[in-house]
């Protein structure tokens, strides 16, 4: 299974190590955010890894929405709490990190779900610099290079028909709304199968500690990111 190498399962709980999280970010999601580095001081498990686990374990519904409530540290013992309305990932103190709401038709075919997971997390992992840098330049703001903070807030996905084969995910539109030193990013995307649109979705992120845009500093950030990526390819 796709996630076998990236999760540690116990009888009634599961967890993600620094190494597992780092490998998932770089090898599967192609996400080179330093917060997912194995030796990062402010390390957190990729949100897309949590989302991928839920889809692989519970299946894919025609309508899903995922809200993130906190960042998961390495080796935290987690469990899933289920109700009729949602599934939540919680720790042993019942702190909620993620809530997944779902409805509609369901498939549990991993031959369909796992390729979709891989396509989505690779799309999701390409935020910087491809999408965020042009948005920040347009609004003349930028994340703090000394403490870049981009928080995955939520995602939603709705199918007019569940996929039966490989899909393609492509960006439809993107926007950045700035309020003081805080920014809200909205990415809209479409899901197609064999050239036909079968679904659409959105991803929301929060940018913190915004400061005035500086082209030279931003270019240094982009160059550093590309160098990090090149080292791991």
Distances (CA, A) of 159 to 65, 124, 154: 12, 18, 17
Cα angle vertex 117, ends 92, 182, to 5°? 70
CA quadruple 172, 126, 158, 206: dihedral sign? negative
Q: What is the pLDDT of residue 233?
A: 62
133 preceded by a cis bond (ω within 30 of 0): no
Strand, coil or helix: 75: coil
Q: Is the CB of residue 78 less than 8 Å from the CB of residue 91?
A: yes
Give residue-wise pLDDT tens across range 91-140.
999 999 999 999 999 999 999 999 999 999 999 888 888 899 999 999 99
Q: Is the pLDDT reported for residue 33 higher than 90?
A: no
Looking up tokens 């709401």 gives 101
Return the CATH number of 4-232, one of 2.10.25, 2.40.160, 2.30.30, 1.20.1050.
2.40.160
Q: What does the block give as tokens for 62?
A: 């025609």
């Amino acid at each position: 299974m796709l996630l076998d190498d990236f999760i540690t399962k116990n009888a009634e709980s599961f967890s993600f190590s620094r190494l597992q999280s780092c490998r998932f970010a770089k090898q599967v999601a192609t996400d080179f955010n330093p917060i997912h580095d194995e030796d990062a001081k402010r390390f957190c498990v990729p949100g897309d890894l949590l989302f991928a686990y839920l889809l692989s374990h519970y299946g894919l519904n025609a309508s899903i929405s995922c809200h993130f409530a906190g960042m998961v540290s390495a080796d935290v013992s987690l469990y899933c709490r289920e109700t009729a309305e949602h599934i939540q990932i919680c720790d042993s103190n019942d702190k909620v990190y993620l809530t997944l709401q779902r409805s509609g038709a369901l498939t549990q075919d991993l031959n369909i779900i796992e390729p979709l997971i891989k396509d989505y997390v690779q799309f999701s992992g390409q935020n910087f610099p491809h999408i965020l840098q042009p948005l920040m330049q347009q609004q003349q703001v930028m994340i703090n290079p000394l403490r870049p903070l981009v928080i995955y807030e939520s995602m939603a996905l709705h199918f007019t028909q569940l996929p039966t084969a490989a899909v393609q995910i492509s960006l439809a539109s993107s926007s950045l709304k700035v309020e003081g030193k805080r920014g809200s990013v909205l990415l809209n995307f479409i899901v197609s199968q064999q050239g036909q649109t079968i679904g659409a979705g959105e991803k929301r992120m929060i940018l913190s500690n915004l400061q005035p845009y500086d082209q030279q500093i931003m270019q240094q950030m982009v160059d550093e990111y590309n160098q990090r990526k090149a080292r791991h390819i």
